[in-house]
Amino acid sequence: MVVARPYIVGNWKMHGTRGMLAEARAIDRVAARLSAVEVALAPPYTLLHGMVEVVQSIGVGAQDVHVAGGGAYTGDVSAAMVADTGAGFTIVGHSERRGAYGETDADVRAKAEAAQAVDLNVILCVGETEAQRDAGKAEATVAAQLAGSLPQGEHAAARLAVAYEPIWAIGTGRVPSLEDVAAIHAAIRADLVKAYGDAGKGVRILYGGSVNAGNAAALLAVADVGGALVGGASLTAESFGAIIAAASLVHETR
């Protein structure tokens, strides 16, 4: 069986000025060496074009897009503008956007569809709060988020990855047990197949939340974990490179 290359994506959040492009180049060199892994970075908008210009082996994408193609939306950036930088994808529905800007599932779906309409790939984030997990509602929460935010349309599944990011694991150093990761990823897979039929089988499901060089191999070896969305540990070539190397080893032993 051919196993898809693991997809390791760095979310730089609101970190990085032009000096950080040197770090992106160093990450690009690691990715060129470890071609069994698909690597990408999502820097702030201000670095998209500059990063596209200096890397060769990694994908570059945005962290969010506006739903509209253009117009009187001060401070916002459209999917077409992201595509125009040469970027190839965008994250949508990150919990920091859902939380700080009140983005609903319907907003997230509209963003995903706006991005796919201009041929950007989409990484759609879902995940439960700690209270929801403690109440035994993690799977139901994620299922509801997917039901409300998965993009519709004939080719939606082909341009999609889903990132499962439990909110309590983001930036905290805490990660769910491997059993819990396996259970949620299996549930997400079932939801994707329900939504897209056979095409749902090919959608990559990434795990995100405190991924680092020490835990990446174990997480990536879990069934249906097709990659990782990495925040803090993606900011240097040293720490992100170690995660890419771990992913490469896991892939080789499959």
The residues annotated with a catalytic role in the active site are: 94, 165
| Interaction between residue 8 and ligand PGA (CB under 6 A) | no
* 170, 195, 220, 244: residue in contact with ligand PGA (rule CB under 6 A): 170
Nearest distance, CB of residue 98 and ligand PGA, angstroms? 12
Q: Which of residues 43 and 231 has its CB atom nearest to ligand PGA in the complex?
A: 231
In angstroms, the CA 93 to CA 46 distance is: 20
Candidates 108, 211, 237, 244; binder of ligand PGA (CB under 6 A) is 211
* Residue 151 or 231 with smaller CB distance to ligand PGA: 231
Please report the beta strands in 56-187, taking only residues with DSSP state E, as ranges in sequence order.
Answer: 59-62, 89-92, 121-126, 160-164
Out of 61, 209, 226, 241, point to the residue binding ligand PGA (CB under 6 A).
209
DSSP helix/strand/coil, 61 = strand
215 binding ligand PGA? (CB under 6 A): no
Q: Which residues contact residue 105 at a Cβ distance below 8 angstroms, ignoring those fewer than 6 apart? A: 93, 144, 145, 147, 148, 149
From the CB of 192, what's the least distance to ligand PGA, in Å? 20
Contact status: 188 vs ligand PGA (CB under 6 A): no
Q: Could you say whether residue 171 binds ligand PGA (CB under 6 A)? A: yes
Give the whole-angstrom CA distance, residue 118 versus residue 196: 20
Q: Does 11 interact with ligand PGA (rule: CB under 6 A)?
A: yes
CB-neighbour burial class of residue 76 (10 A; exposed 0-12, middle 13-18, buried 19+): middle
Q: Which of the ranges 33-41, 50-58, 60-68, 209-217 carries the binding residues for ligand PGA, by CB under 6 A?
A: 209-217
User: Contacts with ligand PGA: how many residues (CB under 6 A)?
Assistant: 13
Beta bridge partner(s), residue 7 = 38, 227
User: Does 141 participate in binding ligand PGA (rule CB under 6 A)?
Assistant: no
CA 35 to chain centre: 19
SS (H, E, C) 99-128: HHHCCCHHHHHHHHHHHHHCCCEEEEEECC
Question: Which residue number, 127 or 151, has a Cβ lying nearer to ligand PGA?
Answer: 127
Enumerate binding residues for ligand PGA (CB under 6 A). 11, 165, 170-171, 208-211, 229-233
